[in-house]
Amino acid sequence: MKFQVFKDGKVVDKFKLCGAYLFGTDGVSIRRAKITFKNGIVECEKPNLGTAGLALLWPIDGFGRVLLPTTCLPERPAPYILNVEIARARLMQIINKREDWSFFDSVEGLEDIYKEAQDLFIQSIQKITEAPRASKLADESLRKAIVFSEKLAIRQAEALFDARSASRGFGRGCIGCRVDPMQIYNPKYVEKLLDFFGFVTIPINWAQIESTKGSYDFSMIDACIKVLGKKKLAISAGPLLCFSEENLPRWLLRSGGGFEKIRETAYQFVSKVVARYSSEIHVWSVVSGLNVFNDFGFNFEQVLEMTRAANMAVKAGSDRALKIIEISNLWGEYYATKTDTIPPLVYMDMVVQSGIHFDAFGLSMRFGKNQSGMHIRDMMQISAILDYFGPIAKPLYITDVEVPSQSGDGLQRSEVAGMWHKEWDQPRQGQWIEQFYKIALSKQFVDTVTYSKLSDAEDSTIANSGLLTDRLEPKQSFSTLKKLHDAIFN
């Protein structure tokens, strides 16, 4: 498959392939695919002849730089026009989501822009043999279509959010925040944490707690419980297990033990932690990102068995505990390049069908970095991915939300990580958070949304992502979230 890339009606000679991957008709990333750019052409080599789509970071004048897909297309000798195929995919998504949402009525103030987008796309197809002209018409169509689609997603979310709020469908812990244990004795930090959050998550890192085999350091968790335990808060903790290098004790990584030994060791750690805090903590993120983080190279059956063992260990430590299984990288790009991984929905289906006893799925959603799963997406895509996981028949907890309040360097440059409308700043972060929370909480199957960082910190996955500065001064996003909380509960 080949795609010719145009900018302003001219073939481009330079183009960065950020976040690029191929996917099949089932939405799953295609393995052993090779994507290159040369002489104005994106060339995609894949191991089979089936239809496929291309997703990559794409610039849109006036809207930013967003990771967007094409539709699934058959192979052919002649190159497709990438601009046209991305516009086609967005218009198709609008039609599909309006049907899913039963949103057939005309949308006041928006229908004109949608009709213009459709008309421009029809013109681009009519001029398809004149590639430069077709690409310019498609660019205009996409600009209007993406504005319409995002406003449509927000309009639909606001209607459902208001209805859910009016019927008192939100729990008091629907807006949460992850705690920074290093700040727990800072009165100003705790004051801001208690300002409106009804749900807090204490981080757990096995590598830090059991850095020496059999020797446990619970001081950070104990400190958090001491400060927060008597407050009117719902307290969760986790993830108890995450099989990425930074979360695994070095002695375990070096042990060379087989799967049974690792499972037994993990079971003992989980049950010990949960039993210690069973009277204070009733919600546990049991295992996180096992669909993608798998440093021991567990096979399909072992991933399932480790998930089962971890949930059994929580039950052994506390019979009343609510158990969450966390999913990372929701669009599944990682599956194209990382071995020993499982597509998100496949893992979720597998866990549900296996009869493992747990209570909810957690979804991690971080944006603003040139890494798999973290490129900027627009609000229509975010709403659509939540709908995609909605039918799983388990409640969803958004366990980690993170976006920057200023553009960063390196992997966080907007050229490679993406940009939402304009360069990131505090007002932009606040606007994004307001729209994201309304979309997430408009879904009846979403119970809570937890922000990853109350304040800026050096160890953040996304730099400058806190709701407060490193001096604990409120950013616009903090005020935005507080207003949203007050609108729900006052």
Residue 433: CATH number of its domain: 3.20.20.80
Q: CA nearest 307: which of 320, 323, 318, 322?
A: 323
Residues 136 and 235 in one domain: no
Residues 426 and 354 in one domain: yes
Token pair, residue 396, equals: 């969803």
Q: Which helix (H) or strand (E) holds 322?
A: strand 322-327
pLDDT of residue 382: 98
Query: Length of the chain in residues, anyone?
Result: 490
Residues 187 and 112 in one domain: no
pLDDT of residue 476: 97
Residues 183 and 275 in one domain: yes
Q: DSSP letter at 313? A: H
Task: Count other C-beta atoms under 10 Å from residue 482's C-beta.
Answer: 17
pTM (2 d.p.): 0.95
Q: CA nearest 452: which of 402, 385, 381?
A: 402
**Domain boundary residue, one of 127, 161, 195:** 161
Residues 368 and 467 in one domain: yes
Token pair, residue 281, equals: 């903590």
User: Which residues, listed in sequence order, are joined to residue 68 by a DSSP beta bridge?
Assistant: 56
Q: How many Cα atoms within 13 Å fall on the side-chain side of residue 361?
A: 26
Structural domain including 364 reads 168-489
Instruction: Give the C-alpha distances (Å, rounded to integers) separating 455 from 178, 190, 203, 299.
Output: 10, 11, 15, 38
Residues 54 and 152 in one domain: yes
pLDDT of residue 208: 96
- The tally of domains found in the chain comes to 2
Q: Which helix (H) or strand (E) holds 68?
A: strand 64-69
pLDDT of residue 106: 66
Residues 231 and 86 in one domain: no
**Domain boundary residue, one of 132, 161, 190:** 161
Q: How many Cα atoms within 13 Å fall on the side-chain side of residue 398?
A: 29
SS3 222: helix
| Strands 2-4, 80-81: pairing kind | parallel
Which residue in the block uniquely carries the two structure tokens 């009117």?
A: 232
Instruction: Give the C-alpha distances (Å, rounded to integers) separating 467 from 17, 272, 487.
Output: 31, 33, 19
Which residue in the block uniquely carries the two structure tokens 């060379």?
A: 256
Residues 196 and 142 in one domain: no
Task: Count other C-beta atoms under 10 Å from residue 215's C-beta.
Answer: 8
pLDDT of residue 114: 92
Residues 357 and 377 in one domain: yes
Instruction: Give the C-alpha distances (Å, rounded to integers) separating 490 from 2, 164, 195, 486.
Output: 55, 14, 14, 5
Is the separation of the CB atoms in 178 and 400 below 8 Å?
yes
pLDDT of residue 206: 98
**Domain boundary residue, one of 131, 161, 191:** 161
Residues 128 and 182 in one domain: no
| Whole-number Å distance between alpha carbons of 398 and 179 | 15
Q: Residues 6 or more apart from 450 whose CB is under 8 A from it? A: 176, 177, 178, 199, 201, 397, 398, 399, 400, 401
Residues 27 and 51 in one domain: yes
Q: Which helix (H) or strand (E) holds 439?
A: helix 426-442
pLDDT of residue 230: 84
Instruction: Give the C-alpha distances (Å, rounded to integers) separating 319 from 275, 323, 357, 360, 456.
Output: 10, 10, 12, 16, 36
The phi, psi pair for 48, rounded to 5°, reads -140, 170
Contacts 24+ apart (CB under 8 A), 109-118: 110/148, 110/151, 110/152, 110/155, 113/144, 113/147, 113/148, 114/144, 114/145, 114/148, 116/144, 117/87, 117/91, 117/141, 117/142, 117/144, 117/145, 117/148, 118/91
Residues 76 and 191 in one domain: no
Q: Residues 6 or more apart from 94 whose CB is under 8 A from it? A: 114, 145, 148, 149, 152, 380
Per-residue pLDDT tens listing for the chain (490 residues):
999 999 999 999 999 999 999 999 999 999 999 999 999 999 999 998 889 999 999 999 999 999 999 999 999 999 999 999 999 999 999 999 999 998 766 677 788 899 999 999 999 999 999 999 999 999 999 999 999 999 999 999 999 999 999 999 998 889 999 999 999 999 999 999 999 999 999 999 999 999 999 999 999 999 999 999 888 899 999 999 999 999 999 999 998 889 999 999 999 999 999 999 999 999 999 999 999 999 999 999 999 999 999 999 999 999 999 999 999 999 999 999 999 999 999 999 999 999 999 999 999 999 999 999 999 999 999 999 999 999 988 999 999 999 999 988 999 999 999 999 999 999 999 999 999 999 999 999 999 999 999 999 988 899 999 999 999 999 999 999 999 999 998 8
